[in-house]
Amino acid sequence: MDAFFVSVEEVLDPSLKGKPVVVGGIDDPTTHKENDAIVSQAKKLLVRAKKPLSVSTLTRGVVAAASYAARKYGIHSAMPISRAKRLCPHAIFLRSSYRLYSEYSYKVFKILRGYSPLVEPVSIDEAFVDLTGCGKLHGPVLKTAETIRNEIKDRLGLNASIGIATNKLMAKIASAYCKPNGMLWVAPGSERRFLAPLPIKRIPGVGPKGVAHLNRIGVQTAGDLACLSLELLEEVYGKWGASLYHKARGINSNPVIAETEDPRSINRETTLNTDSIDPLLLESTLSYLIEKSAAQLRISKLFARTITLKLRYSDFKTVTRSQTFSSPTAADYKLFKAAKKLFRNTFNRKIRVRLIGVSLTSLTAHPYHQENLFDPKDGKRWDELYHGIDRIRKKYGFTSILRAASSDKIRDK
């Protein structure tokens, strides 16, 4: 999808079209209301603790998406909002609405799955679609691709760029090459010829550091890279060198893998309104994120085996720490206990925290629960408690009932 978040905003407000528009402000998948809830809970906490909290208009975080008009000023994804404002002060800055973008993403993927059962999501706005064997249903591949692009435009008002090739690597490069709103077919057998003049930064997996390394040995284009032997690249760069050897030739054998119904992970993070060194505020925020994540686990009828804490400091240094449980769980108190331990072992009190987040992985539909030897009803009681909490939230809203740690960390022992 082309500038997906911005494009969705333009559908809702056509007056934004053609203008420099930047979507961001919070670099996390938490909705506007959810982020306000986090701030509200933390604010209540610090008021009780008689500590001041400055809650300013949210202009922090990073750029999630920029319109093509904004990109002319040098604005790009993952850039700090503050820098984007300096580059283009007159740009229109909109706060991210992840729930809205998710709804449109769902509609896009529904269209794609109408053409093939093999749809592999790469992100909220990108996917691979395997059309092998679908010719009798939808016609030639070029015609099918055009039909897909037109259907997305007609039904949702969004532009998509489509790369068509014999493998995922080439399809991805082609789709990026023909943006915005383009369609490009790399004919079988022409992969190396197509790649040769492209700068090496066009090759997926070659970032700024990789470009700098390759430039130092005289490699500027994919064609230059293709002239180097496998032995040389492996000797200099190891496994990455072998990967570069094949990519420069357009070789890729990875199949398109359809997404399973169950999520692979559940992630929640939020950028604070003000960088903080206050463990009281940070643990309160962490508790709230745990509650949101655990609630999503239970809704999906899943259990997590591993929890990961993410901290980003004011200098943008990011650290992660993980813990794996002996048996999967969806219980708030177990998840928070682990997260709090990770936080206290990781938190650098000398540098303020900018972002805090949690990720639940190794998800399974089977809890493998081992009952307490002395109180076999203990697990059942916790299950009943959380089911009751979930019912209350479904009726009255998520913040209608929260852990004490999420609203009054002072009482949490």
Q: How many domains does the chain have?
A: 4
CATH number for the domain harbouring residue 224: 1.10.150.20
Q: What is the pLDDT of residues 186-221, one digit of tens each?
A: 999 999 999 999 999 999 989 888 899 999 999 999
Q: For 301, left (φ over 0), alpha (ψ -120 to 50), or beta?
A: left
The pLDDT, as a whole number, for residue 207 is 85
Within a domain: residue 255?
no
Within a domain: residue 152?
yes
Statement to judge: residues 165 and 66 lie in one domain: no
Look up the domain containing 298 and give its range.
266-411
Strand partners, 329: 304
pTM of the model: 0.61
The pLDDT, as a whole number, for residue 362 is 86
Statement to judge: residues 137 and 177 lie in one domain: yes
Within a domain: residue 320?
yes
CB 20 within 8 A of CB 113: no
CATH number for the domain harbouring residue 299: 3.30.1490.100
Statement to judge: residues 238 and 299 lie in one domain: no
Within a domain: residue 253?
no
Statement to judge: residues 55 and 166 lie in one domain: no
Within a domain: residue 306?
yes
Within a domain: residue 392?
yes
Q: What is the residue-averaged pLDDT of the chain?
A: 83
Residues (pLDDT < 70) of the chain are 25-60, 259-263, 366-384, 393-400, 403-413
CB 314 within 8 A of CB 277: no
CB 264 within 8 A of CB 318: no
Statement to judge: residues 87 and 107 lie in one domain: no
Catalytic residue among 9, 103, 120, 126: 126
Statement to judge: residues 316 and 233 lie in one domain: no
Catalytic residue list contains 126: yes
Q: What is the DSSP string of 138-162?
A: H-SHHHHHHHHHHHHHHHH-----E
The pLDDT, as a whole number, for residue 219 is 94
200, exposed or middle or buried, with CB in 10 Å at 0-12, 13-18, 19+?
A: buried
Domain end, chosen from 99, 116, 131, is at: 99
Statement to judge: residues 325 and 373 lie in one domain: yes
The pLDDT, as a whole number, for residue 145 is 95
Which DSSP state fits 227? T
Of 126, 128, 207, 200, give the one whose Cα is nearest residue 164: 128
Statement to judge: residues 155 and 278 lie in one domain: no
CATH number for the domain harbouring residue 32: 3.40.1170.60
Statement to judge: residues 178 and 285 lie in one domain: no
Upper half-sphere CA count for residue 264 (Cβ side, 13 Å): 7
- Quickly count: other Cβ atoms within 10 Å of residue 140's Cβ: 10
Of 260, 242, 240, give the one whose Cα is nearest residue 251: 242
Read off the tokens for 196: 């040769």
Statement to judge: residues 37 and 170 lie in one domain: no
- Give the C-alpha separation, 63 to 179, whole Å: 19
Statement to judge: residues 49 and 84 lie in one domain: yes
CATH number for the domain harbouring residue 135: 3.30.70.270
Within a domain: residue 256?
no
Q: What is the pLDDT of residues 246-299, one digit of tens each?
A: 999 999 998 988 865 556 788 888 888 788 899 888 998 998 899 888 888 888
Statement to judge: residues 281 and 402 lie in one domain: yes
Within a domain: residue 366?
yes
